[in-house]
Amino acid sequence: MHTSRLAAFLLAPLLAATAAAQTQPAGDLAWRLQAGDTFSYVFRWDFVQTESLGPQMVLRDVKLEVEYVLEQKVLEVDGEGRARIEATVRALKAAVDPKMMGMPMGKMSFDSAQEDAPNNFLRALREAVGKSFRFSLARDGAVTDVSGGQAIRDAVTEVARRQTEELKKRLGGGGGGMGGMMGPDLIGTLAARISVAFDDQTLASTLNVVNHVLPPDGAAEEGASWTHEVAERLPQLGALRFVGKYTRGPGEGDAARIAFRPEGKVELEKAAPGGGDGFQEQAKAGLAAMEVTHTRIRGEAFFAAGRLRSSKVEQRIDAVADIPPDSPMAGMAKPGEKIAARFELTLTYRQAN
C-alpha cells in the first residue's frame, strides 16, 4: 500500500473519533437513568471566612473543608424521566482551621476511614456515615423533594451535644483556660455546625446548584445559552438569589462543557435571627449589620453519556460594616475605617473513581 494511503487508512479511525468529539450532537444534554442504576459522586465544600481591619490586619480567618462520597441508587423513574434516588453517605472527611489575629487556634480534622482519637471534637460526624437520604433528579438536573437529610443532621447534633456536656464536666463547667473563642461550647458544637450541610434544605440547595446545569429540553448546540432561576441557601449567611446563565462551550474529549455565570443582579437574602446556637446567632447579627459590596459567582460543568462528569461552582461575597464604638477595634481603626468581611464557598461535585 502506498505510504500516504497507509497513513490515511491508519489515521481514519482517529480522525473520525476526534471529529465526533468536536461535533457532539445538540440533543445529548439530559440525564438518562433507569431503575436499579448505581453510581457515586464525591461532594466537596471549601469555605473561607475572613474579617479584616485595613489591608494589613486580619482579625479572623476560618477555613472549613468537608468532603464525602454519595453512593446513589435509582429507585424508580417516572414517565418524564425524573428519577427517585437514594443516596448514602460514605468516606466523610472534614477539617476546620481557625485563626484569630493571625494566630492559629487549633486545627481539627476528621476522617471516617481512620480511628477516632478520644479528644477529636469532630468525631460526631461519624454519625452521618452510612446514613441515607432521598431526592428526585429531573432530566435537566433539577433536584427536588429531598427527605431524610434532617435525620442525619439531628443524629450528628445529638452526639455533638453530649460531647459538649462531657467536655464541660471534665473542665469543671467552664472553659478551663481554653479561651472563650475555642471554649467547649464552640469546640463541642463544631460537628453540629458542619452537619448543617446535611439538612434537607441545604442538600436540596447545594445539590441543585451543581446538578441543575442542563437545558430544559435536553438539547443545545455549541454556543447556545439557557437560564435557570437559582436560590442557594448559605448556612448562617442566608440565601443567594439570581438568574443563572448557562452556555455550552467547546467540548473536552467526549464531554460537553457548560460554563455558568449569573445574569443580572445577585441578591443576598440575609438569614433571619432565631433557630441557631449562640455562635450562629452572633454570626447572623454580624452579617445583618454588613453592607454587601461585591458578589462573584462562576461555575463549570462537564456532561457526557447521560451523566454529569463533574461540576464546580465558586462563590464569593464581600461586605463591610461600621465598627461599634464600644468594640476593642474602635481604638485601633483609622477615622472612617470599616471592618471588611469576605465569604468564599466552592462546591465541587465529581464522579468517584
Domains of the chain: 27-351 (2.30.230)
DSSP 181: G
Q: What is the pLDDT of residue 321?
A: 83
- The answer to whether the CB of 89 falls within 8 A of the CB of 59 is no
Cell numbers found for residue 159? 452526639
Does residue 70 sit in helix, strand or coil?
strand
Averaged pLDDT of the chain: 83
Average pLDDT over residues 282-298: 77
Q: What is the pLDDT of residue 58?
A: 80
In degrees and rounded to multiples of 5, residue 244 shows phi and psi of: -90, 135
Q: What is the pLDDT of residue 280?
A: 56
- Surface-to-core class of residue 207, CB atoms within 10 Å of its CB (0-12 exposed, 13-18 middle, 19+ buried): buried
Cell numbers found for residue 173? 463547667
Q: What is the pLDDT of residue 255?
A: 94
Q: What is the pLDDT of residue 4?
A: 41
Q: Determine the Cα–Cα distance for residues 46 and 185; give it in Å rounded to an integer.
A: 24
The closest alpha carbon to 319, from 230, 237, 241, 196, belongs to: 237
Tell me the per-residue pLDDT of 6-60, one tens digit each, with 9 for 90 and over: 334 334 443 343 444 444 555 689 999 999 999 999 999 999 988 888 777 787 8
- The answer to whether the CB of 159 falls within 8 A of the CB of 121 is no
- The answer to whether the CB of 253 falls within 8 A of the CB of 302 is no
Average pLDDT over residues 89-110: 86
In degrees and rounded to multiples of 5, residue 278 shows phi and psi of: -60, -40
Answer yes or no: is pLDDT of 237 > 60.
yes
Cell numbers found for residue 311? 461540576
Instruction: Give 234's strand partners.
Output: 238
The closest alpha carbon to 207, from 344, 311, 122, belongs to: 311
Answer yes or no: is pLDDT of 205 > 90.
yes
Q: What is the pLDDT of residue 65?
A: 94
- For cell 480534622, name the residue: 109
Q: Determine the Cα–Cα distance for residues 80 and 34; give it in Å rounded to an integer.
A: 12
Lowest mean pLDDT among 137-141, 144-148, 253-257, 268-272: 268-272
Q: Determine the Cα–Cα distance for residues 136 and 157; give it in Å rounded to an integer.
A: 26
Q: Determine the Cα–Cα distance for residues 70 and 85; give it in Å rounded to an integer.
A: 11
Q: What is the pLDDT of residue 341?
A: 87
The closest alpha carbon to 315, from 338, 289, 296, 335, belongs to: 296
> How much of the chain, in percent, has pLDDT values that exceed 70?
79
- Surface-to-core class of residue 121, CB atoms within 10 Å of its CB (0-12 exposed, 13-18 middle, 19+ buried): buried
Answer yes or no: is pLDDT of 169 > 60.
yes
Q: What is the pLDDT of residue 270?
A: 74
CA distances 231 to 137, 209, 239, Å, are: 17, 8, 6
Cell numbers found for residue 152? 442525619
Q: What is the pLDDT of residue 286?
A: 63
What's the chain's length in residues? 353
Cell numbers found for residue 120? 477529636
Q: Determine the Cα–Cα distance for residues 268 and 282; give it in Å rounded to an integer.
A: 18
Average pLDDT over residues 212-221: 94
Q: What is the pLDDT of residue 132?
A: 98
Q: What is the pLDDT of residue 170?
A: 78
In degrees and rounded to multiples of 5, residue 280 shows phi and psi of: -65, -40
- The answer to whether the CB of 257 falls within 8 A of the CB of 214 is no
Sequence-separated (6 or more) residues with CB below 8 Å from residue 201:
146, 233
Percent helix, strand and coil across the chain, each to the nearest 5: 25, 45, 30
- For cell 418524564, name the residue: 80
Answer yes or no: is pLDDT of 151 > 80.
yes
- The answer to whether the CB of 253 falls within 8 A of the CB of 237 is no
Q: Please tell me which of 40-54, 87-101, 261-275, 296-310 the model is most confident about, judged by mean pLDDT.
A: 296-310
Does residue 13 sit in helix, strand or coil?
helix
Answer yes or no: is pLDDT of 331 > 70.
no
